[in-house]
Amino acid sequence: MATTGVAQVAGSASDREEHAMASLHCQHRSYTITADVVEHPGIPTPWAGGCHITDPEGHTSKRIALPVRFAFLADLENAQRASIAHGKWLVDQRLDRGKALF
């Protein structure tokens, strides 16, 4: 698994979190999966997990949210990891079972 970690970015904590949310991605079976985590402040589990998937031809999906039961997490890093794992599962479903991604 070639997962890109979160880089350190100068600036405010908000700037660092915004960069972190956009930077975690991996290659899985020739598809690129990019975590797209959205913060919802004021709730106990403020991080809504989701991802974008780019196929080998360069087509990119809209944001695909985690299933409702698992969509919100308390920790940014866990939300990113769950988002990447869900994207990998979706790619596997596409390639192994012919399910549509887009």
Q: Is the pTM of this model over 0.85?
A: no
Nearest to 59 by CA among 36, 99, 31: 31
In a domain, 102, yes or no: no
In a domain, 62, yes or no: yes
Q: What is the pLDDT of residue 46?
A: 97
Q: What tens digit of pLDDT does each residue of 34-90 get?
A: 999 999 999 999 999 999 999 999 999 999 999 999 999 999 999 999 999 999 999
In a domain, 25, yes or no: yes
Specify the CATH number for the domain of residue 47. 3.30.160.350
Q: How many CB atoms lie within 10 A of CB 83?
A: 30
In a domain, 85, yes or no: yes
Distance, CA of 55 to CA of 27 (rounded, Å): 10
In a domain, 3, yes or no: no
How many domains does the chain contain in total?
Answer: 1
Structural domain boundaries, residue 19: 11-97
Reported confidence tier of residue 20, pLDDT bands at 50, 70, 90 = very low
Cβ burial, residue 28 (10 Å; 0-12/13-18/19+): buried
In a domain, 4, yes or no: no
**Residue showing tokens 């600036």:** 11
